[in-house]
Amino acid sequence: MAAKICVIGTGYVGLIAAVGLSDFGNIVVGVDLDEKKINMLKQGKSPIYEPGVEDYLNRNLESGRLSFTTAIDQAVQDSQVIFIAVGTPEKENEEADLSYVQAVVNTIAKNLIDYKVIVTKSTVPVGTNRWIKELLEKETGGNNFDVVSNPEFLREGRATQDFFHPDRTVLGCESEKAKEIMFNVYRTLNVTSVPFVWCSLETAELIKYASNAFLATKITFINEIANLSEAVGADIHLVAKSMGMDGRISPKFLHPGPGYGGSCFPKDTKAIASFGRKFGVKMNLIESVIATNEIQKKRMVDKIKKLAGTLEGKTIAILGLAFKQQTDDIRESSAITIVNEIIKDGGTVQAHDPKAMDNFSKLFPDIMYCHTAYDAVKNADAIMILTEWNEYRGLDLEKIKSNMNGNILLDTRNLLDPDVVKDAGFIYEGVGRK
Ligand code: NAD
Ligand code: UGA
C-alpha cells in the first residue's frame, strides 16, 4: 500500500527524496519555507542543477503522487511518515547547527494528532535522534510516534542514480511497527536487492559520519601522496591506479585535486571531530585531515604564484567554480579560497563555469564572469582548472593559447595530458606529476 509521506526541506536531499519516494509509488508532499522554491517545483522546475531531476519531478507531478506546499502544519497532519531533510550547517564552533531540525521537530510536535514515524534524513550528530524522541515526548506528553534515523549517502551530480541504486539503506529503527512502515516506504529498493542495515539510532548516525570522514581521509591521503610524487619525481596517476588495483584499497576516491569541498565533507569532518571531543574521544586522524585539506587549497595558490612569479597585476583565468562537476553547488568549493587569495595578492580573476556562475557571483560580485572558457582565457597570464567538468578535457589548446597573454596552465584536476599541453606551448603543471 502507498505510504503517505511528507518531506520537510526541498534542498538537494529533500528534493531527491521527494521525487524518489513518489517514484516508488508513495504519496509525497514536499514542504519548504522558501516560497520561491515551492512555486518553481509546482511548475516542474528544479531550483538546483542536478542531472535527471526534472524528468523525475515532472513524471511524478503528472502522476498526482507528488505535490509541494509551504503549508507545513497541514502537510504533517495529513502524513504518516515525516522525513526531516533540512540543513545542518556548521556553527562557528564547528559543531552541527541543529536549529533547523529543532524548528521542524517543534512543528511536528504541534501536529502529532495520530501515530507518525519521524525519519531523520539530515546528517545529525550521534545522540540527535534520541534527543528528538525525548523532545517529542516532552512536547506532546505521549509517545504516539517512532523516530527513525535514515542517513542519506547520495552525491551531488549523481543524486538520482545514487537514490535509486544505493549501496545500502541504513535504518536506525527501534520499533517493529516503524520497521514495517519503513520497509513498505522503501519496498522498491528491497525488490532490487539493495541491502538494508537495521540498527540502533546511534549506530545509524555514526555510520553516516564515519563514511564521510573515511572518504575525506582517502582523498586527503592521495593528495598528500601526490605532493610527495611531485617531490620525488613519481607519477601519481600510476601510483593511484596501481594502489586501486588492490581490492582492499579500491580505485575510487583516489583522485588528487585542490582539496575536497562541498556542503558535506568539510562540515561533517568538523562535526565528528567536535562530537568526538564531547564524548571524550579526540579524533586525531580526522583533525589532521581537516587541517591538511586547508593546506592543499593554499598549495594551489602557491603553485600558481611560483609559476607566474607574482600575482600582482596578473590576470588569472579560473575554469570551474563548483566544488565538483555536474553541480551548481559552490558550498566550500576550493575555488572560494583560491579566488580570495588571488584577489588578496593583487591578481584579477576571469572565471567560467558551466553551471555555478550565478551562485559564485553572489559571493564574488566583482570578478569577471564569462560565457565560455575561451572568453575567460582572453588576455590571461595564466589558467587554473579547478573543477573537473568534462568540457575542459576537450579544450582547443591552440585557440586558448592564441587568446592568452601568457602561457601558464595549472591543471589542479589532472584533466589534460601534460605532453599534449606542453607540445601546444604551455608551461604546464598538474597535481602529483611532473
Ligand atoms: P539545503 O540547504 O540544500 O536544503 C535545506 C532546505 O530546507 C532548504 O530548502 C530550506 O529552505 C529548507 N528548510 C529549512 N528550514 C525549514 C523548515 N523549518 N521548514 C521547511 N523547510 C525548511 O540542504 P541539503 O544539501 O539538502 O542538506 C540537507 C541535509 O542532508 C544536511 O544535513 C546535509 O548534511 C545532508 N546531506 C546532504 C547531501 C548533499 O549532497 N547535499 C547528501 C547527504 C546528506
Ligand atoms: C559526499 C559523499 O560522496 C556522499 O556519499 C554523501 O552523501 C555526501 O557527501 C553528503 O553527505 O552530503 P558530495 O559532497 O556530493 O558527496 O561529492 P563527492 O563526490 O563525494 O565529492 C566531494 C569532494 O571531494 C569534491 O570537492 C570532489 O571534487 C572531491 N574529490 C572526490 C576529490 O578531490 N577526489 C576524489 O577522488 C573524489
* pLDDT > 70: percent of the chain: 100
Q: What is the pLDDT averaged over residues 399-428?
A: 97
Distance from Cα 171 to the centre of ligand 2, integer Å: 22
Grid coordinates representing 192 are 532490487
Domain ranges of the chain: 4-199, 294-429
At residue 1, the pLDDT reads 81
Distance from Cα 265 to the centre of ligand 2, integer Å: 7
Does any ligand 2 atom lie closer than 6 A to the CB of residue 156?
Answer: yes
Residue keyed to cell 607519477: 235
At residue 413, the pLDDT reads 98
Does any ligand 2 atom lie closer than 6 A to the CB of residue 14?
Answer: no
Is 142's pLDDT higher than 90? no
Q: What is the pLDDT averaged over residues 100-119?
A: 97
Q: What is the pLDDT averaged over residues 297-317?
A: 97
Does any ligand 2 atom lie closer than 6 A to the CB of residue 255?
Answer: yes
C-alpha triplet 18, 19, 21: angle, nearest 5° = 65
Does any ligand 1 atom lie closer than 6 A to the CB of residue 50?
Answer: no
Distance from Cα 14 to the centre of ligand 1, integer Å: 6
Q: Which of 312, 378, 320, 384 is nearest to 347 (CA)?
A: 312
Kindly report the protein residue whose alpha carbon is nearest to atom 14 of ligand 1.
86
Does any ligand 2 atom lie closer than 6 A to the CB of residue 331?
Answer: no
Q: Which residues of 47-189 form beta strands (DSSP E)?
A: 66-69, 81-84, 116-120, 145-149, 169-173
Grid coordinates representing 299 are 598549495
Residues making up the chain, counted from first to last: 434
Condensed to tens digits (0 to 9), the pLDDT of residues 79-105 reads: 999 999 999 999 999 999 999 999 999
Q: Say whether 264 is catalytic.
A: yes
What is the C-alpha to C-alpha distance for residues 254 and 239, in angstroms, rounded to an integer?
10
At residue 80, the pLDDT reads 98
What is the C-alpha to C-alpha distance for residues 273 and 285, in angstroms, rounded to an integer?
9
Question: Using an 8 Å Cβ cutoff, are 59 and 23 in contact?
Answer: yes
The listed CATH number (3.40.50.720, 3.30.70.890, 3.40.228.10, 1.10.3720.10) that belongs to domain 294-429: 3.40.50.720
Does any ligand 1 atom lie closer than 6 A to the CB of residue 152?
Answer: yes
At residue 434, the pLDDT reads 72
At residue 226, the pLDDT reads 98
What is the C-alpha to C-alpha distance for residues 351 and 322, in angstroms, rounded to an integer?
11
The listed CATH number (3.30.200.20, 3.30.465.10, 3.40.50.620, 3.40.50.720) that belongs to domain 4-199: 3.40.50.720
* pLDDT > 90: percent of the chain: 98
CA atoms within 13 Å, Cβ hemisphere of 346: 8
Condensed to tens digits (0 to 9), the pLDDT of residues 166-221 reads: 999 999 999 999 999 999 999 999 888 899 999 999 999 999 999 999 999 999 99
Kindly report the protein residue whose alpha carbon is nearest to atom 43 of ligand 1.
152
Please choose from 34, 72, 167, 263 the residue to mutate so as to test ligand 1's pocket, defined by most ligand atoms within 8 A of CB.
Answer: 263
Please choose from 31, 32, 35 the residue to mutate so as to test ligand 1's pocket, defined by most ligand atoms within 8 A of CB.
Answer: 32
Q: What burial letters (b/e) apply to 398-427, b meaning 16+ CB within 10 Å?
A: eebbebbebbbbbbbbbbbebeebeebebe
Mean pLDDT over each residue of the chain, to the nearest integer: 97
259 pLDDT tier (thresholds 50, 70, 90): very high
What is the C-alpha to C-alpha distance for residues 370 and 378, in angstroms, rounded to an integer?
10
Q: Does 4-199 match 294-429 in CATH topology?
A: yes
What is the C-alpha to C-alpha distance for residues 393 and 415, in angstroms, rounded to an integer?
6
Pick the ligand that lies closest to the CA of residue 210.
2
Condensed to tens digits (0 to 9), the pLDDT of residues 373-407 reads: 999 999 999 999 999 999 999 999 999 999 999 99
Grid coordinates representing 141 are 506528553
**Residue 175 vs residues 10, 109, 178, 245: alpha-carbon distances, Å:** 27, 19, 5, 42
Q: In terms of DSSP H, where are the helices of 235-367?
A: 236-244, 265-278, 284-308, 334-344, 357-363
Does any ligand 1 atom lie closer than 6 A to the CB of residue 122?
Answer: yes
